[in-house]
Amino acid sequence: MPNSQLTPGVAPGRLTAEIYARNFSDVAPPLDDHEARVAADRCYFCYDAPCVTACPTSIDIPLFIRQISTGTADAAAMTIFHQNILGGICARVCPTENLCEGACVRETAEGKPVQIGALQRYATDGLMDQGEHPFRRGTPTGRRIAVIGAGPAGLAAAHRLAAKGHDVTLFDARTKPGGLNEYGIASYKAPGHFAEREVDWVMAIGGITLETGRALGRDLSLDQLRRDYDAVFLGLGLQGVNALNAPGEQRGNVLDAVDFIRDLRQADDLASLPIGRDVVVIGGGMTAVDAAVQARLLGAQNVTIVYRRGQERMGASRHEQDHATSSGVRIICNAIPVAIHGNGTVREVEFAHTTDGPGGIEDTGERFRLPADQLFRAIGQRLSGAPEGLALEGGKIAVTGPGRTSLPGIWAGGDCAAGGDDLTVTAVAEGRDAAEDIHAQLMGA
């Protein structure tokens, strides 16, 4: 773990192997056949279904649920995959309580929505477990497309382009593809190397060549890519982590939450990961919650999330907030870090209470301290090393329509593109739609 120093409060192997296995087992076990049929029967099969409108990939949810209810789960999976080729991981990580299930008529009427996410997982897992990829590469067009970034947006774009018959080269800076799904989500949401298996399944369509360890700006230039390929799609994600800008931030055991989650997901032995007794996480989004909950699951005694605004403003859904608190995580809102104290390594974090005033966050002048032998930053990421010549908007790549950038022949989507909401399902939709636009332009449709 980068910058992690073993101190009296930070140590690996706090738990037994049995407890690690239990703590990091599937947080939402799959439905069996009977449970799926019962859950599907609760759907009203609305004609003008609000759940479809709420889904960024516009899956025909009433149709796939009806297909499950009539015993044709494989058809249901195809309904999903035609709109969202990463429907398996999205069934696990989507904030469905804010999207499809939040819009469900059953939720409005009874406060208990149809289990859309669980039903989607039931259908997609069933078809994926059969092994054979259900899509076939289209008739070769002779066109070559470069896709930079093998995360959700890049994978969705590459798959759709291959299905159209184009030759796709998929580049990624890391040693493994998958992006956020492989490196950035809580392990208990997708155990069993699901993200890796899903990438292999998506690639089975053919027509996609994967090159890992190839970074834009280091190993690849945008100018060269434009010369060598008929089109380029950028699905770079976000690389830089925002700083706290508080005195003492350089002390030992002050870490980025994304690095902690990455190391945890890639660890062969969870007992090898050092974790503190008193862990503080700064931030209010999904990364903050995932880091905090997993710190508890690794054996931290006290874990606290501190967020600068009110709880209703947190980026993490209320479901995820409740999951954190039920896991033993404390959430403190309306507070910002003003100093990090310690002798070499962090020992305490000093905070100021805040209020949301007309001009933004205001310091009330009240102070408090929390003991901390490990501090995780989870206050957002930024695009670092944006390709030269591309117009930016809010620090991200500016796009119009289906991902068109300011440079002809260059498209972008996912977290690196302006206007999105940093969700896996949105990245998939943007990669898919950019691929359709690329195909239309190249083929003169």
* CATH 1.10.1060.10 segments of the chain: 33-128
What tokens were used for 178?
Answer: 């998958």
Fold type of domain 144-239+383-443: FAD/NAD(P)-binding domain (3.50.50)
Query: Taking a C-beta distance cutoff of 8 angstroms, is the pair 378, 281 a contact?
Result: yes
**Measured distance CA(199)–CA(196) in Å, rounded:** 5
3-state secondary structure of 80: helix
Query: Taking a C-beta distance cutoff of 8 angstroms, is the pair 291, 267 a contact?
Result: no
* CATH 3.50.50.60 segments of the chain: 10-25+241-381, 144-239+383-443
Query: Taking a C-beta distance cutoff of 8 angstroms, is the pair 114, 106 a contact?
Result: yes
Instruction: Tell which CATH architecture fits domain 10-25+241-381.
Output: 3-Layer(bba) Sandwich (3.50)
pTM of this prediction? 0.95
Amino acid at 104: C
Dihedral sign for Cα 54, 55, 56, 57, please: negative
Q: Which CATH number fits domain 33-128: 3.30.930.10, 1.10.150.530, 1.10.1060.10, 3.40.50.10540?
A: 1.10.1060.10
DSSP string, 414-435: GGGBTT--S-HHHHHHHHHHHH
**Measured distance CA(245)–CA(247) in Å, rounded:** 7
Amino acid at 52: V
Amino acid at 374: Q
pLDDT tens-place values along the chain, 445 residues long: 545 566 768 999 999 999 999 999 999 999 999 999 999 999 999 989 999 999 999 999 999 999 999 999 999 999 999 999 999 999 999 999 999 999 999 999 999 999 999 999 999 999 999 988 999 999 999 999 999 999 999 999 999 999 999 999 999 999 999 999 999 999 999 999 999 999 999 999 999 999 999 999 999 999 999 999 999 999 999 988 899 999 999 999 999 999 999 999 999 999 999 999 999 999 999 999 999 999 999 999 999 999 999 999 999 999 999 999 999 999 999 999 999 999 999 999 999 999 988 888 999 999 999 999 999 999 988 887 778 889 999 889 999 999 999 999 999 999 999 988 889 999 999 999 999 999 999 998 6
What tokens were used for 235?
Answer: 């699905």
Residue appearing with tokens 């890049």: 154
